[in-house]
């Protein structure tokens, strides 16, 4: 059961304004005012909880013609970056957790990911194609600093000459610059840094726990000058919010060394639509 319909109130540094009930939940609760002004009560600080998940397999495959990769690995479920528009939010409903605040504060990590990857790459029938690291949730979210799962996966990939692609907003990727640079020399690594907006204030509302636009451009610069092919990913483009920035973002990325670019239009699947509406509206009033 997830806590639904709790009063919409912003938690500092969080994206969602509620723990909306997941679509598979068997029960939901309803907030009823007892007459006391809830606005006067202090909001408890929401602590992030890391939950160990023993994965049974680690490479996910897909045959979708809409998706530019066939293999992916997600070291984490949930993402503390807490972007309000995140299309991965609805996946938390499969864990009987909310795609709202739970998604950004109850993070599952897979400590056996590297072992499982090595087993998969050793299989005689393994067909090599690039693995998208963190296709669903960011592989360089804050928990990675402590857990180092993304790092351990890169080490296995390098050992087996396995090509990798990464999309991230996380500055922590700079920790892995040496290994990524070595892999890039063998044409095994391509990175995309997501830049949603160049406006700090809008970034803070949309993506509360991510690096700012200037920091992300510096990441592109550092990766590019180290010889790692790096793209600027203008995503998501949100009509009337940041789509007017598209050309500026692409130019800013090009100016710091990005050699490729892409954009993705906003999608608001399942619970993300009401979360986006309530979370964003609350930050703008
Ligand atoms: S960084 Fe990516 S995965 Fe994490 S919340 Fe934002 S959009 Fe979702």
Q: Is the model's pLDDT at 41 over the cut of 90?
A: no
Name which of 124, 112, 10, 103 is nearest 54 in CA terms: 112
142 lines ligand 1 (CB under 6 A): no
> Can you give the pLDDT at residue 125?
96
Q: Domain tally for the chain?
A: 1
86 lines ligand 1 (CB under 6 A): yes
> Can you give the pLDDT at residue 266?
96
Tens of pLDDT, residue by residue over 203-236, are 999 999 999 999 999 999 999 999 999 999 999 9
Handedness of CA 97, 103, 106, 112 (dihedral sign): positive
How far is it, in rounded angstroms, from Cα 172 to Cα 229? 17
Handedness of CA 80, 82, 83, 88 (dihedral sign): positive
> Can you give the pLDDT at residue 279?
77
Distances (CA, A) of 244 to 27, 200, 201, 248: 42, 15, 16, 8
Asked whether residue 13 is domain-assigned, the answer is no
Q: Is the model's pLDDT at 29 over the cut of 90?
A: no
Asked whether residue 20 is domain-assigned, the answer is no
137 lines ligand 1 (CB under 6 A): yes
Asked whether residue 138 is domain-assigned, the answer is yes
How far is it, in rounded angstroms, from Cα 196 to Cα 181? 25
Three-state DSSP class for residue 71:
strand
> Can you give the pLDDT at residue 27?
76
Q: Is the model's pLDDT at 246 over the cut of 70?
A: yes
Asked whether residue 274 is domain-assigned, the answer is no
Give the domain CATH number at 235: 3.20.20.70
138 lines ligand 1 (CB under 6 A): yes
**Range 8-21 average pLDDT:** 82
Q: Is the model's pLDDT at 285 over the cut of 60?
A: no
Nearest CA, atom 8, ligand 1: 86
Asked whether residue 14 is domain-assigned, the answer is no
- Name the residue of 88, 107, 235 whose CB sits within 8 Å of the most ligand 1 atoms, as the mutation to test its pocket: 88
Name which of 210, 276, 272 is nearest 241 in CA terms: 276
Element (H, E) at 144: helix 144-147
> Can you give the pLDDT at residue 231?
98
Identify the weakest region by mean pLDDT among 22-31, 66-75, 124-133, 167-176. 22-31
Asked whether residue 240 is domain-assigned, the answer is yes
User: 36 CA to middle of ligand 1, Å?
Assistant: 36
pTM over 0.85: yes
Asked whether residue 221 is domain-assigned, the answer is yes
Residue 40: which pLDDT band, with cuts at 50, 70 and 90?
A: low
> Can you give the pLDDT at residue 2?
43
Residue 4: which pLDDT band, with cuts at 50, 70 and 90?
A: very low
Mean pLDDT of the chain: 92
State which ligand 1 atom lies nearest to the alpha carbon of 170: 1
Asked whether residue 256 is domain-assigned, the answer is yes
Q: 138 burial class (0-12, 13-18, 19+ CB within 10 angstroms)?
A: buried
**Range 131-140 average pLDDT:** 96
User: 134 CA to middle of ligand 1, Å?
Assistant: 10
Q: Is the model's pLDDT at 9 over the cut of 60?
A: yes
Nearest CA, atom 3, ligand 1: 137
Range of the domain at 143: 49-75+110-266
Q: Is the model's pLDDT at 265 over the cut of 60?
A: yes
How far is it, in rounded angstroms, from Cα 80 to Cα 137? 9
């Amino acid at each position: 059961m997830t806590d639904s319909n709790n009063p919409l109130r912003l938690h500092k540094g969080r994206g969602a304004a509620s723990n909306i009930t997941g679509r598979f939940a068997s029960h939901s609760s309803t907030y009823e005012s007892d007459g006391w002004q809830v606005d006067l009560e202090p909001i408890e600080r929401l602590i992030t909880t890391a939950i160990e998940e023993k994965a049974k397999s680690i490479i996910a495959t897909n045959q979708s013609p809409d998706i530019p990769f066939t293999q992916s690995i997600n070291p984490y479920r949930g993402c503390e970056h807490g972007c309000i528009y995140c299309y991965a939010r609805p996946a938390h409903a499969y864990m009987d957790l909310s795609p709202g605040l739970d998604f950004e504060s109850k993070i599952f990590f897979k400590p056996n990911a590297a072992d499982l990857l090595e087993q998969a790459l050793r299989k005689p029938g393994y067909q090599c194609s690039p693995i998208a690291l963190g296709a669903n949730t960011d592989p360089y979210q804050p928990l990675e600093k402590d857990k180092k799962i993304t790092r351990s996966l890169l080490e296995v990939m390098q050992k087996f000459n396995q090509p990798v692609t990464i999309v991230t907003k996380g500055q922590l990727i700079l920790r892995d610059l040496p290994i990524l640079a070595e892999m890039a020399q063998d044409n095994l690594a391509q990175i995309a840094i997501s830049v949603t907006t160049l406006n700090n204030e809008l970034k803070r509302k949309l993506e509360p726990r991510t690096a700012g636009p200037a920091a992300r451009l510096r990441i592109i610069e550092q990766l590019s000058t180290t010889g790692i092919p790096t793209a600027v990913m203008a995503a998501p483009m949100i009509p009337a919010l940041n789509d007017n920035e598209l050309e500026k973002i692409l130019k800013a990325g090009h100016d710091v060394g990005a050699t490729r670019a892409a954009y993705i239009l906003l999608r608001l699947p399942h619970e993300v639509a009401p979360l986006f509406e309530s979370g964003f509206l609350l930050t703008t009033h």
